[in-house]
A and B are shown apart, each in its own frame.
Chain A
Amino acid sequence: MIAVLRGFLWLTGVWLAGETLVVLLDLPVSAGVVGMLLMTGLLMLRIGRLDDIAAAGQPLIGLLAMLIMPGVVGVFFIADDFAGQWLAVAVALVIGTLASVLTTLLLMRRCMPAEPAADAPQESLT
């Protein structure tokens, strides 16, 4: 339990560091993203205990869907705000996503080297 607290303090502290950078340097990026990059950088430098941070981070990542849910609720209350634009929104989302998936697949098929061993992926889940 103390490990979770230590990890949560790391996550909060790194977020605050991210916010500090965003404010001081007037970055057009959210504090969370800067914090995420800082976190990765710190771990690469072996600063901070991975066990502690993972103990607090894993449950938070698992709960991401629930944390954004209140934002999703809002979509049912804005129908009038964007009247007349729903066709544009629907086409952009449906056709746009189909097109971008197609592009990604074609690009990756072009760029990706063949798998080391056919049908037996070497990379294990980390």
Chain B
Amino acid sequence: MSDALIALREALLATPLSSTALTLAAYLAALWAVERLGRPSWCPAVLLAALLVAAILWGLSIDFADYRRGADWLMLLLGPATVALGVPLYQQLHHIRALWKPLALSLPPAAALASCYSLALAWALGASPEVLASLAPKSVTAPIALGIVEELGGSVPLLMGGLLITGVMATLAVRLLGPALGIRDHRILGFALGVNGHAVGTVRAFEMSPSAGAFASLGMSLTGILTALCLPLAWRLLGL
């Protein structure tokens, strides 16, 4: 009897469909729960869904590597999904044409500092090179950041955790600092949300106004592109 059960378990773990079903179920459950809680900005659905999956893996004592092997099939879609980000970027081009000067002046330092502040702090507190590589793309939207971290040789799970915390912190920071600095221009608030808080911040910006959302997605794409093009080069030059 127990032999049959072990064989069944083996068979189920061998197919990527188990991981797929688990991922979909956890994500849908998390969406439902987050909706129930009134969409708190400190708890994105992804975080809750990841907690659920982790708890189930732990409860059934399934190896994370086994789950990950199946889920890789799902993550394969990240490739075309990243390419698809070119569509909203194309649709935002009129903003870039109209405001290229302020954008060209503020985007590169903003995107570079988003990475540098954290790197400097982590380095000063004695973080290892692997940790530094995982934190460097922390303000970049996840599909692009994944590609960067592979180039730099960081840890994907650590990057993912960092991305979530960064997104939530950026949302909080804009909400606190915006009024304190007397900034009411939704274009600026949205841009700051997108540059620093990637997708999490962009979702929050779309809740503020369509204009904030448009500038957030613009800031998010431009930060992603700029970081993806410059960070691996800078890393090579620094010899890290």
A contact residues vs B (CB 8 Å cutoff): 8, 11-12, 14-15, 18, 28-33, 35-40, 43-44, 50, 53-54, 56-58, 60-61, 63-78, 81-82, 85, 87-115, 121, 123-126
Contacts and interface: CB of A to CB of B under 8 A. Distances in A.
Contacts of A61: 81, 84-85, 87-88
Interface string B50-79: 110110010000001001100110110111
Given A11-B84, A40-B86, A107-B109, 19 more contacts: A28-B233, A31-B147, A33-B144, A61-B81, A64-B143, A67-B78, A67-B81, A68-B46, A68-B78, A68-B160, A71-B160, A73-B57, A77-B157, A82-B131, A82-B155, A95-B121, A97-B117, A104-B192, A105-B178
A75 B157 contact: yes
A105 B188 contact: yes
Contacts of A73: 50, 53-54, 57, 64, 67-68, 71, 157
A70 B79 contact: no
A43 to B, nearest CB: 4
A96 B121 contact: yes
B126 to A, nearest CB: 6
A99 B150 CA distance: 26
A64 B199 contact: yes
Contact of B174 (A66, A92, A101): A101
Contact of B196 (A31, A88, A101): A101
Interface of B is mostly: helix
B157 A78 contact: yes
B135 interface: yes
A44 B177 contact: no
A71 B160 CA distance: 6
A30 B228 contact: yes
Contacts of B53: 69-70, 73
